[in-house]
Amino acid sequence: MDFLKPARSGGRRFGRAAAMMLVALSLGACSSFDFFSKKDDMPPDEPADRLYNEGLFQLNAKKNAREAAKKFEEVDRQHPYSEWARKSLIMSAYAYYEQGAYDECVTAAKRYITLHPGSPDAAYAQYLIGASYFDQIPDITRDQDRTDKALAALDEVSRKYPTSEYASSAKQKIEVARDQLAGKEMQIGRYYLDKKDYTGAINRFKVVVTRYQTTRHVEEALLRLTESYMSLGIVEEAQTAAAVLGHNFPDSGWYKRAYTLVKNGGGEISENKGSWISRAFKKVGLG
């Protein structure tokens, strides 16, 4: 009977192996069932036009820009590379702009320009970038990085899309941004002037005269140059600054102060045509 023991032992091993195979097969069947079950449970994609119109509804009727942006982004997620996705991308940028989510607006608008550079809406996307930075322009006591970015983005609209309907608005915003940057230079220049750092002051006022002379700050900048040069004893340059100020802005209160300053210093109001001040104004036809 001993010869049966190995057979019984082998049978038990076979039985355990068979049982394990059955468990494995049953688990595999469950796993396959779960896979197909989950796949069947996934909601089908919504039609792109329905999602897009829902976004418009949220934006126009509900005045809910955040929910509108979500709907537009869902179009891009469910229907990438479609015409609806292209339209939804620019609309999501606009929706973000409306809710004041400027970083998200800039990201969406830049993506639109990258994907659709030749689209008629590329000009609007570029304008939204500039407008987003423009709306964040801080007062002149703070860093003007956003102002610089606004100026660059809006200049892109004016330069690349001069005939677009956004070019005129972009130019208006450009003038405001330039005035802001000039104001920042004036603030720093006055600080140096108060500290009697006349060279530092002149360098700041020079920026206003050469880069931002179409802004409202240029008249004061010319007076401050007159003041700084007189303080340094560089009378000829002071006289030129006053003369250019008087020639271009004869009724300015700043000119009256510059005139008095030069006269009290024993100088005359005369222009040195070789001065950088004179050349700067002739360059843009103001002199």
Contact 92, 72 (CB under 8 A): yes
Closest alpha carbon to 75 in 48, 99, 98? 48
Give the pair of three-digit tokens for residue 42.
């996934």
Three-point CA angle 206, 209, 210, nearest 5°: 85
The pLDDT score that the predictor gives to residue 31 is 44
Q: Which residues 6+ apart lie within 8 Å of 219 measured at CB? A: 245, 249, 252, 254, 255
29-44 pLDDT, tens digit per residue, is 444 444 444 444 555 5
The residue that leads in pLDDT, 5 or 124, is 124
Is the pLDDT assigned to residue 10 strictly greater than 80? no
Contact 170, 127 (CB under 8 A): yes
Give the pair of three-digit tokens for residue 95.
């929706």
Is the pLDDT assigned to residue 78 strictly greater than 80? yes
* DSSP type of residue 266: T
* Residues 220-245, mean pLDDT to the nearest whole number: 97
The pLDDT score that the predictor gives to residue 284 is 62
- Alpha carbons 181 and 186: distance in angstroms, whole number: 9
Residue ranges of domains in the chain: 47-102, 196-283
